[in-house]
Amino acid sequence: MSPATLTAGSADGFLRWANHRSEAIRRARSARLRVLLGALAVPPAQTTETLVAQLRERLANPSADELWLALAVLTATLPGPSAVERAMRSCRLDGPLAAFDEALHARSLAGYLRHRRDLELSEVVVLTGEVVVDLHNTASTTITTGIQRVARETAKRWQRTHAPVFVAWHPRRAALVRLTQHETAGEAPAIGVATQSPGADRAVLVPWRCTYVLPELMAELPRVAALQGLFRYSGSTSAAIGYDCVPLMVPETVASDAVVNGFAAMLAGLSHADRIATISEAAAVEYRGWRRMLAGAGLTGPHIAAVPLPVHADRPTRTTLEQARARFLTDELPMVLAVGSHEPRKNHLAVLHAARLAWRDGVRFGLAFIGGAGWGADTFRREVEELQGAGHPVEVHADVADDQLWAAYALARCTLFPSLDEGFGLPIAESLACGTPVITSNYGSTLELAAGGGALLVDPRDDHDIARAIERLVTDDRLHAVLRKQALVRHDRTWDQYAEAAWDYLVLGKVRPPDDVRRTLAAIPGRRGYEQS
């Protein structure tokens, strides 16, 4: 036998691994060998030696997919592309057992495998033919961002109608575990949040020829590498919801470099996915531009189709309306409402300046902000205090519960949302669903939402334009009535319809008929650059 020059492992080393002196560990490892052979359609033998021999014979000349499966089952961790490439090279030079021995001892990225003990006994299950929905972030938090709202509302409906396998990532390594029904529904403390590490003792799932769906974001590097391996080698169809490309397209409006880098890593993973359902046509424009850029790396990239989000708001009760009236309204002035966290992209400094211009012209209204702290909001807070000091009716509200938010929309004269870039523009949809007219940006997804009626368009980079729109909507009752009526008769999707449309595309690969897409696009004024390539 030639010297093992490239492979840091040997067939003997693998036999020693399989024959560990602790009986519990030995049994767990034999179980994995059996699971692996079973998935490779080899009836597993009894003794460890025979199992190892079966494996050596079956994988003497393996495909990259088969090697991925073997590494995933043996290490109870989903390998990334570089691990698969390395194993393939070692396998070609020194045989499969040496390659596995090497992989089992490989140092992992970012110390993901440092806690080796709980790896040893994990049960590994190969899932075949299932739809696997990754709900890790959403199940790990009680915070409701726009993305989590979409993931939760969708998962809730899929659970009822399609019962897929909901999964999250193991607390300490790149492996998938099953979420309980309560965790999926957000009713139970989820993985990695409440206690030390629930989920560490659960069986590790290896999706093999499945459909994997990511309805949220993923930014942790070791997981992204594992995901890329899953996309490329598991023989599964893979699909994700695409929210926006904000971190890459307008990085100056993102809180930190880490967000940009995490997002770029996720895109690198998604470049090997099969389908991306964007939440608006505008987001599809961004994702298609990104896909075109992949050609330089010799990649084709996923199919991209818009599955626009629903327009929805809950109806507030009389009590919440009364509470909201006391909390948000000032001196019975008409209320202009701005919803969104205080961060540069939401353009709140322009909102303040436009309001100042309108007040100076004698327009009478109160300005209410509802939204979290965001980042880079020091100037915003200073200017709010200055305006308040000068006697202008402006208030900033944080920690507003959903029912209070619905009530605020219902009470507002109009909602002001001149954001610089959005994947969708949830506050527009929510306001319109309440019948409250909206002032928003004249391009991108906000324009697309406005096209359905009920909105006044402005150039968000022109404060005077925003000020004029405020003045018109506050003072012109007839215009206000027209827009309100438009908002109330819009034909928008419900969450049920969204969840079904998303399932049809992400899981079943059904695309809308081209005529239907053309009609949607035709309804968007100034849709330059929207045509599908």
Binding-site ranges for another protein (CB under 8 A):
2-3, 5-6, 8, 82, 85-86, 88-89, 92-93, 221, 245, 247-252, 257-258, 260-261, 263-265, 282-283, 285-298, 420-421, 441-445, 459-461, 528-530, 533
Nearest approach in angstroms of CB 64 to another protein is 10
Cα separation, 369 vs 487, whole angstroms: 22
Cα separation, 367 vs 396, whole angstroms: 9
Cα separation, 6 vs 379, whole angstroms: 58
Nearest approach in angstroms of CB 59 to another protein is 17
Residue 1 to residues 55, 90, 342, Cα–Cα distance (Å): 19, 14, 66
Cα separation, 52 vs 15, whole angstroms: 7
Report the residue number, 6 or 398, with the smaller CB distance to another protein.
6
Nearest approach in angstroms of CB 250 to another protein is 6
Report the residue number, 228 or 404, with the smaller CB distance to another protein.
228
Report the residue number, 160 or 464, with the smaller CB distance to another protein.
464
Coil, helix or strand at residue 500 = helix
Tokens of 39: 């998935």
Q: How many residues does the chain have?
A: 533
CA 29 to chain centre: 35
At residue 485, what are phi and psi to the nearest 5 degrees? -65, -40
Report the residue number, 197 or 256, with the smaller CB distance to another protein.
256
Nearest approach in angstroms of CB 347 to another protein is 12
**CB-count exposure of residue 65 (10 Å: 0-12, 13-18, 19+):** middle
Nearest approach in angstroms of CB 181 to another protein is 37
Nearest approach in angstroms of CB 270 to another protein is 14
Nearest approach in angstroms of CB 431 to another protein is 21
DSSP H or E segment with residue 397: strand 394-397
**Strands 131-134 and 211-214, how do they pair?**
parallel
Nearest approach in angstroms of CB 422 to another protein is 9
CA 219 to chain centre: 10
Nearest approach in angstroms of CB 93 to another protein is 6
Report the residue number, 99 or 168, with the smaller CB distance to another protein.
99
Nearest approach in angstroms of CB 208 to another protein is 22
Report the residue number, 288 or 312, with the smaller CB distance to another protein.
288
Report the residue number, 286 or 430, with the smaller CB distance to another protein.
286
Cα separation, 166 vs 355, whole angstroms: 46
Cα separation, 141 vs 186, whole angstroms: 9
Report the residue number, 245 or 506, with the smaller CB distance to another protein.
245
Cα separation, 485 vs 455, whole angstroms: 11
Report the residue number, 252 or 332, with the smaller CB distance to another protein.
252
> Which residues touch 465 (CB under 8 Å, ≥6 apart)?
458, 459
Report the residue number, 111 or 529, with the smaller CB distance to another protein.
529
Cα separation, 445 vs 424, whole angstroms: 5
Tokens of 12: 């003997």
Cα separation, 415 vs 469, whole angstroms: 11
Report the residue number, 314 or 459, with the smaller CB distance to another protein.
459
Residue 197 to residues 202, 321, 433, Cα–Cα distance (Å): 10, 42, 41
Nearest approach in angstroms of CB 530 to another protein is 7
Q: Hey, CA dihedral for 470, 472, 476, 477, is it positive or negative?
A: negative
At residue 219, what are phi and psi to the nearest 5 degrees? -135, 0
Helix 318-328 / helix 402-411 crossing angle, nearest 10 deg: 70
Report the residue number, 130 or 422, with the smaller CB distance to another protein.
422
Nearest approach in angstroms of CB 212 to another protein is 22
Coil, helix or strand at residue 59 = coil
